[in-house]
């Protein structure tokens, strides 16, 4: 028996490949499926089932493409209503893969169809459980946005989740492993651990959902208080996962189109967005006016979904050489399939043709310290929870994911000094503000981590 976790850091997402005696199963695959096919080929096995823990909101799954390529059956848990052929498992239904079995355990709460899968070895001993977004390490999944639009309140979902975790998962053997659907950084939970696998016994000690810290009423309050607004692309991803989508190879074929400078310019209109995915240090030195920066070297796909919002937006790419296909792939993971081309030769070709450029000013924390006591506008684009560990006096807090909704708080005539934790999000924020006509901006290099070490007074 082989259990392999395929973890994608950009999405903080775990997919799983299970193989036994020439048969295999995949749990929650990503949209591009070549990796799972390679694993099956290397293990000389046939993929028999594709198990989905729920209709994902934060990424487009690869279930349909993988099923087409392998004839494997797609399996969902009770209450799922996909608009394509699939097997809707009953609670406690058992599926045989080689010499091992997977048991579908209906664990609603994150969504109504959420299902975990318990793996038993060839001797019938419980080995591990794949919990999807029901149980994370140190946390649980928040009530899902898609279900909140179906007449089920977040409080009702939280109560259902409490019962699922305590009545379905907690009674299982202490020594089994827990393989969650996500880790730290995902928007599907509040405070997940950075680890991606743990024993159930340890989770029973440290996870507030399992260790008896809360009764049901208090758990509901804890889970639903200060619940963050989900990214706007989440409902669109649920619909794609439920209704169907283009195979990634088709998306790549439609999108991987080199455009010279004049062709690139001909596509510019109110319906297109220039997305620059280079490193932030390169972007600030020069970029095409109106571009939005979201660097590939950070949490690219989730931030693309949060910032661009509408998955139907037509996108023009500015990339480093040989990063075009990767960018298209990572956008497609969150449902953005409308890339209409990329700037051939990258930003260098733009400057060599003497086109207009824009820049972002930057300031070091040391130089910020020299002017911190003057009348300046300090903008902190971190999450509210991050400020619990320190913030700058008189700083305005507008988290990056809602900055476009709060522009009225920022005077275009003022000079704004913008920071996040390390410099990635602040550059995204600067690009958004520039696009909206805010010209007097300084990005604080290195973010709050460098500010803390600069001698500036921290509250």
The pLDDT value recorded for residue 145 is 61
Q: What distance in Å separates the CA atoms of residue 324 and residue 98, rounded to the nearest whole number?
A: 40
The pLDDT value recorded for residue 58 is 92
Band of residue 455 on the pLDDT scale cut at 50, 70, 90: confident
Judge whether residue 147 has pLDDT over 70: no
Judge whether residue 293 has pLDDT over 80: yes
Question: In Å, how far are 27, 37, 105, 287 from 246, measured between CA atoms?
Answer: 20, 18, 30, 32
The answer to whether 182 and 14 are in contact (CB under 8 A) is: yes
- Cβ burial of 389 (10 Å; 0-12, 13-18, 19+) is exposed
pTM recorded for the entire structure = 0.91
The pLDDT value recorded for residue 9 is 87
The pLDDT value recorded for residue 458 is 85
Q: What distance in Å separates the CA atoms of residue 166 and residue 259, rounded to the nearest whole number?
A: 56
For the stretch 47-106, pLDDT in tens is: 999 999 999 999 999 999 999 999 999 999 999 999 999 999 999 999 999 999 999 999
The 3-class secondary structure across 261-285, one letter per residue, is HHHHHHCCCCCEEEEECCCHHHHCC
Average pLDDT rounded to a whole number, residues 300-321: 94
Q: What would the DSSP string read from start to end of 404-447? A: GG-GGGS-TTS-EEEE-SSSHHHHHHHHHHHHTT---EEEETTH
Both tokens assigned to 210: 């399992």
Contacts of 348 (CB under 8 A, 6+ apart): none
Tell me the CA end-to-end span of the chain in Å, nearest whole number. Answer: 53
The answer to whether 143 and 223 are in contact (CB under 8 A) is: yes
Evaluate whether 2-234 and 246-352 have a shared fold.
no
The answer to whether 114 and 37 are in contact (CB under 8 A) is: no
Task: Judge: domain 361-452, CATH 3.40.250.10.
Answer: yes
CATH of domain 246-352: 3.40.250.10
Average pLDDT rounded to a whole number, residues 218-229: 86
- Cβ burial of 266 (10 Å; 0-12, 13-18, 19+) is exposed
Which phi and psi angles does 318 have, rounded to 5°? -120, 115
Domain boundaries defined on the chain: 2-234, 246-352, 361-452
Residue that has been written with the tokens 């099923």 in this structure = 67
Both tokens assigned to 201: 């016994």
For the stretch 372-410, pLDDT in tens is: 888 899 999 999 889 999 999 999 999 999 999 999 999
The pLDDT value recorded for residue 240 is 96
User: If you average pLDDT over every residue of the chain, what do you get?
Assistant: 94
Band of residue 150 on the pLDDT scale cut at 50, 70, 90: low
The pLDDT value recorded for residue 197 is 95
Which helix (H) or strand (E) is 324 found in, with range?
Answer: helix 324-332
Average pLDDT rounded to a whole number, residues 147-157: 78
Q: What distance in Å separates the CA atoms of residue 101 and residue 117, rounded to the nearest whole number?
A: 10
The pLDDT value recorded for residue 149 is 57
The 3-class secondary structure across 2-44, one letter per residue, is EEEEEEECCCCEEEEEEEECCEEEEECCECCCHHHHHHHHHCC
Judge whether residue 193 has pLDDT over 90: no
The pLDDT value recorded for residue 146 is 62
The pLDDT value recorded for residue 374 is 87
Judge whether residue 298 has pLDDT over 90: no
Judge whether residue 36 has pLDDT over 90: yes
Q: What distance in Å separates the CA atoms of residue 20 and residue 373, rounded to the nearest whole number?
A: 66
Average pLDDT rounded to a whole number, residues 425-438: 96
Average pLDDT rounded to a whole number, residues 442-456: 92
CATH superfamily of 2-234: Ribonuclease Z/Hydroxyacylglutathione hydrolase-like (3.60.15.10)
For the stretch 121-135, pLDDT in tens is: 999 999 999 999 999
Which helix (H) or strand (E) is 342 found in, with range?
Answer: strand 339-343
Among 296-300, 343-347, 350-354, the range scoring the smallest mean pLDDT is 296-300
The pLDDT value recorded for residue 262 is 97
């Amino acid at each position: 028996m082989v259990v392999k976790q395929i973890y994608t850091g950009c999405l903080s997402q775990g997919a799983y490949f299970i193989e036994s005696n020439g048969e295999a199963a995949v749990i929650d695959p990503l949209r591009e499926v070549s990796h799972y096919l390679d694993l099956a080929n290397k293990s000389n096995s046939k993929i028999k089932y594709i198990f989905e823990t729920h209709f994902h909101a934060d990424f487009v799954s690869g279930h349909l493409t993988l099923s087409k390529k392998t004839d494997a059956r797609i399996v969902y848990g009770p209450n799922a209503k996909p608009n394509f052929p699939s097997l809707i498992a009953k609670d406690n239904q058992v599926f045989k893969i080689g010499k091992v079995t997977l048991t579908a355990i209906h664990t609603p709460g994150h969504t109504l169809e959420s299902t975990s899968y318990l793996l038993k070895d060839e001797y019938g001993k419980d080995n591990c459980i794949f919990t999807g977004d029901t149980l994370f390490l140190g946390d649980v999944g928040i009530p899902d946005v898609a279900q909140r639009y179906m007449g089920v309140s977040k409080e009702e979902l939280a109560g259902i989740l409490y019962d699922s975790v305590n009545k379905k998962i907690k009674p299982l053997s202490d020594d089994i492993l827990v393989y969650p659907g996500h880790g730290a950084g995902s928007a599907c939970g509040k405070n997940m651990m950075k680890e991606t696998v743990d024993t159930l016994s340890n989770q029973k000690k440290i996870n507030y959902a399992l260790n008896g810290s809360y009764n049901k009423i208090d758990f509901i309050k804890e889970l639903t208080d200060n619940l963050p607004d989900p990214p706007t692309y989440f409902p669109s991803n649920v619909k794609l996962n439920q209704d169907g989508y283009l195979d990634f190879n088709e998306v790549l074929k439609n999108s991987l189109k080199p455009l010279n400078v004049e062709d690139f310019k001909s596509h510019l209109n109110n319906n297109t967005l220039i997305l620059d995915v280079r490193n932030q240090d390169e972007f600030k030195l020069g970029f095409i006016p109106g571009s939005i920066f979201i660097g590939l070297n950070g949490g690219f796909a989730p931030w693309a979904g949060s910032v661009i919002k509408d998955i139907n937006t037509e996108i023009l790419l500015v990339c480093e050489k040989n990063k075009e296909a990767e960018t298209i792939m990572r956008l497609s993971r969150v449902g953005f399939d409308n890339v209409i081309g990329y700037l051939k030769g990258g930003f260098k070709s733009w400057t060599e043709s003497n086109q207009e450029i824009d820049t972002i000013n930057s300031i070091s924390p040391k130089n910020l310290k020299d002017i911190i006591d003057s009348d300046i506008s300090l903008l902190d684009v971190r999450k509210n929870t991050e400020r619990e560990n320190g913030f700058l006096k008189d700083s305005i807090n507008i988290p990056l994911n809602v900055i476009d909704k709060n522009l009225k708080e920022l005077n275009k005539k003022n000079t704004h000094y913008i920071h996040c934790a390390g410099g990635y999000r602040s550059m995204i924020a600067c690009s958004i503000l520039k696009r909206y006509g805010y010209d007097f901006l300084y990005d604080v290099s290195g973010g709050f981590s460098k500010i803390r070490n600069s001698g500036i007074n921290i509250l």
